[in-house]
Structure 1
Amino acid sequence: MVPIAAKPGRPLLSAAAAIVGLALLAAPATRAQAEVADSKGLAVHYDVHGDLRSGGTPLLVLHGAYMSADAMAPFVERFARTRPVIAVDLRGHGRTGDADGPITYEAMADDAAAVLDAAGVRQADVFGYSMGGSAAFQMAIRHPEKVAKLVSVSAGTRLDSAYPEVLAGIAQITPEVFDGSPIRREYDRLAPRPQDFPILVEKLKVLDATPFDWNAEMRALGHKTMIVMGDYDIMGPEHAVEMFRMRGGGAPELAARGFLTEPPLARLLVLPGTSHIGVMAEAETIVTLVTPFLDDVTPPMPPGFF
Structure 2
Amino acid sequence: MKTLFLISFCVLKCYCIAFAQYPPEFKGSNYGNNPKAGRYADIRGFKMYYEVYGKGEPLLLIHGNSGSLNNFTGQISFFAQSYQVIAVDSRAHGKSVDPTDSLSYQMMADDFNALLDYLKIKSCYVIGWSDGGNIGLLLAIHYPGKIKKLASTGANIWIDKRAFPGDMLAAPNEMIDSLRKLPPSPAIKNAIKVWNLINQEPGISIEQLNSIKCQVLIIGGDHDVILPKHAVLIAENIPLSNLWILPNSGHSTLINYKNLFNNTVNTFFKKPYRIIKGWDQLN
* TM-score calculated relative to the size of structure 1: 0.75
Deviation of the 1:71 alpha carbon = 2.2
Distance 1:14 1:24 in 2: 17
Deviation of the 1:176 alpha carbon = 6.5
Deviation of the 1:272 alpha carbon = 0.7
2:222–2:248: 8 Å Cα contact kept in structure 1?
yes
User: Is residue 2:81 matched to residue 1:106?
Assistant: no
Match of 1:220 among 207, 211, 216: 211
Considering only aligned residues, what root-mean-square deviation do their CA atoms show, in Å?
Answer: 2.7
Deviation of the 1:101 alpha carbon = 3.0
Distance 2:194 2:85 in 1: 26
- Long gaps (5+) in structure 1: 1-10, 178-194, 249-264
Match of 2:50 among 35, 46, 49: 46
Distance 2:29 2:195 in 1: 28
Over 3 Å counting, the alpha-carbon distance change for 1:118 and 1:281 in structure 2 is same
Distance 1:27 1:267 in 2: 33
Letter in 1 for 2:197: L
127-136 vs 197-206, greater mean Cα deviation:
197-206
Residue 86 of structure 1 aligns to a residue whose secondary structure is strand
Distance 1:278 1:243 in 2: 17
Residue identity over aligned pairs, in percent, reads 26
User: Is residue 2:242 matched to residue 1:267?
Assistant: yes
Deviation of the 1:62 alpha carbon = 0.3
2:92–2:194: 8 Å Cα contact kept in structure 1?
no
* TM-score calculated relative to the size of structure 2: 0.81
Over 3 Å counting, the alpha-carbon distance change for 1:13 and 1:205 in structure 2 is closer
Letter in 1 for 2:173: A
19-28 vs 66-75, greater mean Cα deviation:
19-28
Distance 1:127 1:14 in 2: 22
The equivalent of 1:34 in structure 2 is: 38
99-108 vs 204-213, greater mean Cα deviation:
204-213
2:25–2:68: 8 Å Cα contact kept in structure 1?
no
Distance 2:14 2:267 in 1: 37
User: Is residue 2:125 matched to residue 1:125?
Assistant: yes
Deviation of the 1:205 alpha carbon = 2.6
Distance 1:232 1:27 in 2: 30
User: Is residue 2:74 matched to residue 1:71?
Assistant: no
Distance 1:163 1:226 in 2: 23
